[in-house]
A and B are shown apart, each in its own frame.
Chain A
Amino acid sequence: MDRIEVLKRNLGRVVVRRDEGEERLSIFTDPGVEKEPLPMRKANAFALLLREAPVHIYPEELIVGIPFRETPSREDPATRVIIPEGVSGQGYIDQGHRLNATGLSDEPYSPIVPSLKGYGVSTRYALFPHYATEEEIAEARRSGLDENSNPGHLQAGHFRVIKYGWSGLKEMAEEGLSMVDDSEMGRRRADFLRSVIICLEAAQAFALRYSELAREMAEDEGSPRRRGELLKTSEVCWSVAERAPETWWEALQLNWFTHLISHAQGAHQLGRFDQYMWPVLERDLERGGVTVEEAQELLECLWLKFCMLTEYTMDNLQNIILGGQTPDGRDATNPLSYMCMEATDRLETIDPKWSIRVHRGSPEEFLRRAAEIIKEGKSQPGIYNDEIIIEALQRIGVPLGDARDYSNAGCSEILVQGRWVPWAFEGRVKLLKCLELVMRRLDEFEAFDELMAALRDEISVAVAMAVSSLNLLQRAVPRISPNPWVSATVEGCIERKMDLTEGGATYNYAAICASGVADTADSLAAVRKLVYEEGVVEKRELMGALQTDFEGHERLRQMLLNRAPKFGNDDDYVDSLAAEIVEHTSGEVSRHRNPRGGGYNLGLFTYGDYIAHGIVTGATPDGRRAGQGISPNFSPCPGRDRKGPFAAMRSTAKINQLLTPNGTALDLMLHPSALRGPEGTDKLVSLIQAFNKLGGMQVQFNIVDGDTLRAAQLEPEKYQNLTVRLWGFPAYFTRLPQEFQDHLIARTEHTV
């Protein structure tokens, strides 16, 4: 069996430990600790965590380091023992659902995602040692935060870590420390820089533990081949601790350690992996330090490490993005871009999640390779349109070179890699909920324009509420949970001597995500046409029908569903309403500022909340029943786009996507028969190119037919590897809750 097979087999050998109680570590065992400033306590807790984390090397591993929630089994060291939430994540989906399934909410808005406590501010890795004072904890609790809270959808500055190494970053911090003065501000800066240095040193010590372990294992190893590998591993881990990476192996090991540690601190994404890793590989190849085959094997070893963090019912946000442009505007694809695709294709795993950036000069070969993998039904990659995204970033003031260095954040949001702390997804506006509220006053509006004006006002209020809630949170987080480790890596923090939670990063935008654009536009189109233009529906009748969830009004509901234009069919009547709503919402969002010194950007994302937002929204005049799910992300409502995938693309492209710098995503389902053979690949490439030409921002495909999904519901055991794309990541279909399965089946599969 070759190495990759052994590693894959080990991955599957998981024992879920259910009943062993977790003993919480604490830094308060030493006297006088509580007098230290918060950042120092946090950093010391971080160091304690890394000191106490179990270390283990599985058979045949070349890239080493196990997740903190894992211990090797004593009986069989090839078996991984994981606590339950490390497997199922106590999923976002479950949580969002549970919190909302109480029925229709009369509360007008819950501007922050309700599952915030569990996810938006990441506490999923509830393993952090106790470090905060009782007063700090009490204050944090008022905002729903605790010692495990970190801003969600964070991205560590991986490119800086590879470039400078931990040691280089430490030197920067030390240099900064030598320059701070003795003022109050100077002391705060010094505390921050010290906290950064403690974290970097803790990481170095962590790597050295692995170096030591590998050397000890080498001594007991019978096979000369494996002994050599373990000695080499030991050397690599030592180098990683001491300096910037010089070899491909070192770079991969450093990337994994950095990711593993960051992952437990709320930073889950890898950014432009092919860009920051390629220079090291290129040098190593030129020098003859590694062959292409060895480099590929090492890369796949890393890929399988990412799979140790796979969660089945939620997005673990472990994203990389390939291709695109260099900061000086050249095509950025390189041999590593292809090696990454090769690894993903061959290993058939859903981690790492990956996407591609496409611009006018993207090589045909790159697009074709990506299209081939999409066609295989792997539900990856998502496609990002460079031309629109770079311009959208420039429009909000990001310099061109940095704009060209964007990557995706947690799911599909846009940020400049390694320099940007986003708060990308916590603030929400439910457009359809706004409309539901306005509809209760329908009889007050003489003309359709009055209804629109009322809706605009309602949206403005919802945006302001979401912003003020999110601003409260952004102020609260640094008072309970500074993040010195991720701050050590993100550009700007060491330079400004300020934690990322306080605004240390180079870019500090926050975002408001609006859901239900399609549903709201469909609703408005129906009211405009049937009530105001044709007069075939009475206002009172419609209001009554909505209040009673269409009880006794099924014919009216059918009229609303079938006799008014629907978003996604390239019909200006309804698409222009969607454009108007987005334009207004964008304007409102961008008026606001956040306490970290940045502005606000609009995104059109629902994430998994297309179910939850539906549950809290009553019947709406698009014919949707109370509680039914809404449109996912920036997509047409399930089953309502009937004129082919390009019509859906054209509808979305009518909305000016320069107004949504936080990102949008069109989710499309294509029937596999539409894309058979090499010609099918060409057609998919053409479709992607046409989408970009229209000015679409992001598109993601599901290549699967409804029959297969229905069959998988009936006989899940036969379809365990069936992968579908949810709101921004691939997931195993049969492991999803029923309502998510059904929602996917209801989406239109575009056939031929």
Chain B
Amino acid sequence: MVSIVVTMSGATGLVFDLKHFAVHDGPGIRTTVFLKGCPLRCLWCHNPESQSPHPEIITHPERCIACGACVDACPTGAISEPGNIDPVECTMCGGCVEACYAGALELVGEPMTVGDVLGEVDKDRVLYESSGGGVTLSGGEPAAQPGFAARLLRALKERGYHTALDTCGHAPWGTLERLLGYVDLVLYDLKHMDPATHEELTGHPNDLILSNLERLNERGTPAVNVRVPLIPGYNDSDGHLRELGAFLSGLGRVDAVELLPYHRLGIPKYGSLGREYALSHIEPYEKGRLMEIREFLEGFGLDVILEGVD
């Protein structure tokens, strides 16, 4: 069994990716640690494998050599033909992944200790030093693994690294606050100002997210960048952008607003997970429109960063 016990003490975390040379998650060149599990289900999510708090098996049919090893390896008969796993019968034992040398089956979600993560992170120390970078904790939602996130962030601070926390904000304030003491910069996601629409788009209303952001603002530290994914037709109307701009400038302490324009790079992952992608009809932005949106928000006195264009 590969079943994972994420202990309450947070000695082990479930990590779904660890990205070296990350250049869009805070200052300098960074290593970003992606924790698995997220309370939100954003329609546009480009990392759908990050959502479930459990390990998952994803498939890459283009790598399959049809050797049949996975069929032979499955103890429950959940795999009738190569690469085709019946989710009902599957017990997540991981035997098929182990047998798949071609890498057509992949287990997403690796249990790692704080020491494991540090081992990877320390390799890039020279790069953090020369670039003013550090480590970013992202997800999923890091606050969904609060014990591990806190231990990891503390250990990173003890080593003198610059730390950033990328959060969707949907967590009890107390949980978030436990982390903030070890964080230099919060990358705080904000998707929509209207509670009902927010729920439609993400599965939850936004009251907790907005109130946490206000508290973070009052707290004074750490620095906060608000990140807004721009989804054509969903949160980019003038009315909504006006409301958003007014709210953020009213906070007063937001250091920068990062706009993350919708892209389609995550779509193949839905196929790998055997899931449907809800927004396949959306086309990415033209550059001109993005510049307009940036200018509009700058009108509120905000420092706006346009990711992928600037």
Contact = CB atoms under 8 A, between A and B. Distances in A.
**Interface size bracket, A side:** 20 to 34
Contacts of B129: 690
A694 B126 contact: yes
A647 B131 contact: no
A647 B22 CA distance: 13
Give the one of A563, A686, A687, A750 with max B CB within 10 A: A686
Contact of A555 (B65, B126, B132): B65
A647 B24 CA distance: 18
B23 A680 contact: yes
B9 interface: no
B131 A673 contact: no
A563 B23 CA distance: 29
Contacts of B247: none
Interface string B124-145: 1011011111000000000000
Contacts of A674: 21, 23
B310 A554 contact: no
Contacts of A647: 20, 123
B196 interface: no
A555 B67 contact: yes
A686 B21 contact: no
Interface string A656-692: 0000000000000000011111011011001101100
A644 B308 contact: no
A563 B101 contact: yes
Contacts of B310: 676-677, 679
Given A555-B67, A677-B310, A752 B126 contact: no
B20 to A, nearest CB: 4
B65 A693 contact: no
Nearest to B32: A752
Interface in B18-64: 19-24, 28-29
Contact of A687 (B29, B65, B67): B29
Contacts of B127: 646, 686-687, 690
B102 interface: yes
A559 B98 CA distance: 11
B123 A570 contact: yes
Contacts of B29: 646, 683, 686-687
A269 B22 CA distance: 38
Given A570-B123, A673-B308, A682-B131, A752 B67 contact: no
A693 B67 CA distance: 46
A646 B20 contact: yes
Given A646-B127, A687-B29, A558 B65 contact: yes
Interface in B54-107: 65, 67, 69, 101-103
A558 B101 contact: yes
A563 B97 CA distance: 12
A645 B31 CA distance: 12
B105 to A, nearest CB: 11
A497 interface: no
Contact of A562 (B21, B24, B28, B102): B102
Interface in A1-37: none
Given A555-B101, A677-B310, A643 B20 contact: yes
A441 to B, nearest CB: 26
Contacts of A675: 23
Give the one of A554, A558, A562, A570 with max B CB within 10 A: A558
Interface in A630-661: 643-647, 650
A643 B133 CA distance: 17
B301 to A, nearest CB: 22
A687 B101 contact: no
Contacts of A558: 65, 67, 101-103
Contacts of A645: 21
Contacts of B23: 674-675, 679-680, 683, 752
28 contacts: A554-B65, A555-B101, A558-B65, A558-B67, A558-B102, A559-B101, A562-B101, A562-B103, A563-B101, A644-B21, A646-B127, A647-B20, A674-B23, A675-B23, A676-B308, A680-B23, A682-B28, A683-B131, A686-B28, A686-B133, A687-B131, A689-B130, A690-B126, A690-B131, A693-B130, A750-B21, A752-B22, A752-B23
Interface of B: 19-24, 28-29, 65, 67, 69, 101-103, 123-124, 126-127, 129-133, 308-310
Given A555-B65, A687-B130, A693-B126, 5 more contacts: A644-B20, A677-B310, A679-B23, A686-B130, A690-B126
